[in-house]
Structure 1
Amino acid sequence: MTWGRIQTADGRVLSGILSETELQPMAGFASTTPAGPSLPLADATLLAPCQPGKFIGLWNNYRAAAEKNGNAIPTTPLWFLKPDTSVVGHGATVTIPPQAGRVIFEGELGVVIGTRCRNASLAEAEAAIYGYTCINDLTSLDILNADPSFPQWTRAKGFDGFGVIGPHIVSGLDWRDLTIRTLVNGRERQSYPAADMILSPAEIVHHLSQDITLMPGDVIAVGTSLGARPVKAGDVVTVVIDGIGAAEITLA
C-alpha cells in the first residue's frame, strides 16, 4: 500500500492511498476510512507524505560507517530531533542559508509510525510501523562542530527544508531488501544496504518508545552510512530506494 499527500489545484491539502493516477482521501493518517471521492494526480502537487509531530534522526547506526570512523557500536539509539518546519517533499527547492556554511546530504531510510506507541515490546514496536519512506537529512557541518563544548545537532539539521521526506510511504516492505542510494546531479554518490543497520527499525521504535510516546505520522530517519558529502547551491540531490521511489530536491 502507498500513502501520499497532495495539494490540489484549488489549494486543498489531502492525504490518503495513492494509485498511479489518483489519491483516495482518508479520514486521518493511516486510516482505512475514505473521506470523499478519489482525485486525479495530474493537476496536484505532491507534498511530503506526512507532517510529523516528531521527526527523529539517528546517528551511528550502520556497521560499515561505524567501523570506518572508529565509532563504538551503540546498544541503544543515538538520536536527535529535527523541527517540523524542516520538512519538505519531493520536488522542493531548498535554500541553503548563508550561516549554514558547508552542508552535506545524508540519504536515509525513513520509518513512519502508524499507531500510538509507548513502552512497546519488540513485537508491539514492529506492529506500530506503518511503512517506509526516503529521507534526505541535510546537515550543516560548520554549525554542528562550531562550538567544541556543544555539538549543535538541532540547529545544524533544523533549517527550513533540511528534512526531505518522500515521495510517499510504502507499507508491506521487508527493510532488509532495500538499498539506499543518493544521486547528485544524476551521478550516484552514495549506495548502501539497509541490512547493514546496527539497530533494526523494530529495535529503534522499541527503545525510543521507552523514552517518548510515538504518535501516528512520526518519522524516524534511521541514520546514514558511507558516502555522505558536501553539496552546494544549484545541485539536484535525489535519494532513491527501489520499492519506495525517489525524493528529489534542488538546492538554492
Structure 2
Amino acid sequence: MLFMKPSTTVIGHEESIVYPFDGENIHFEGELTVIIGKEARNVSESDALDYVFGYTCGNDVSDRILQRRESEFGCLLVGKGYDTFAPIGPVVETELDPSNLHLITRVNGEVRQNGNTADLVYGVPALIAYLSKYMTLLPGDHIMTGTPAGVGPIKPGDTIEVEIEGIGVLRNKVITQVGAMP
C-alpha cells in the first residue's frame, strides 16, 4: 500500500512524537528511509540507485483507528499524517547497500521488530522505478520502504528506537499533546 505523508510529519532524532488528543491506537513502524538526491522521472530499476542521495532510519507512526476508517473510503492520509508522525535520522548514510540491512525496533528497550531489508516486498530500486513512472521525485523526497513484522501500539512516555545496520539509532520519545483540546 502506498501513501504520502505531509512535510509537517517529519521530525528528527531525539525530537518528540506527539500523541494526539484523539489518538486511540497509535503504532510504530521501523523502516529504512531512502532520500532522493536528484530529480527522478521514468527511472529504470537498474538505474534507480543512481538517484539516491542516502539512507536513514524512519518510523512510520500510524493511527490505526483513523487508518481503518480512511481505508473504507479508499484513501490513506490522515491516519499517517499527524504532525510528528515521520521521525527520521539520526544521520544520512550515503555509502550503503540497501538490499541487506538488519533493522531492529525497540520500545522502552524491548525488541519489538527484528528484520532485514532483504525481506522487503519491493526493494529500493523497484520502489523508485515504480514511483518515478507516475510522479517526479525531487531531491530531498523520502521513501519509507516498508516494515518488518512486530509493529504495535505506543503511548505517552514510551521511547522508540529504530536501529539500522550501518546507519545508527533513531530515538524519539512519545509525549502527550498539550494545549486546548479541539
Taking structure 2 as the reference length, the TM-score comes to 0.92
Show the 5 A alignment for 1:6-45: none
Q: Please say if 1:170 is aligned against 2:93.
A: yes
Larger-Rg structure: 1
Matched residues, number: 175
Which amino acid letter does the alignment assign opposite residue 196 of structure 1?
A: D
**1:93, distance to aligned residue in structure 2 (A):** 1.3
**Where do 4+ consecutive residues of structure 1 move more than 6 Å?**
none
Shift of 1:95: 1.5
Q: Give a deviation string over 1:41-98, Cα, whole Å, max 9, x none.
A: xxxxxxxxxxxxxxxxxxxxxxxxxxxxxxxxxxxxx311000000000001121112
Residue identity in the other structure for 2:174: L
Displacement of 1:242 in angstroms is 2.0
Q: Which runs of 5+ in 1 are unaligned?
A: 1-77
Q: Which residue of 2 aligns with 1:160?
A: 83
Aligned to 2:142: 219
Match of 2:179 in 1: none
Q: Of the candidates 149, 165, 169, which is equivalent to residue 72 of structure 2?
A: 149
The whole-number CA distance in structure 1 between the counterparts of 2:70 and 2:138 is 33
TM-score (norm. length: structure 1): 0.67
* In structure 2, distance between residues paired with 1:229 and 1:151: 23
Residue pair 1:145, 1:152 contacting (<8 A) in 2 also:
no
Secondary structure of the equivalent of 1:243? coil
Q: CA RMSD in A?
A: 1.3
Distance 1:138 1:185 in 2: 16
- Unmatched 5+ stretches in structure 2: 176-182
Structure 1 letter corresponding to 2:51: A
Q: Per-residue displacement from partner, 1:11-40 (whole Å, max 9, x unpaired)?
A: xxxxxxxxxxxxxxxxxxxxxxxxxxxxxx
Letter in 1 for 2:87: V
Identity of aligned residues (%): 37
For 1:155, give the aligned amino acid.
V
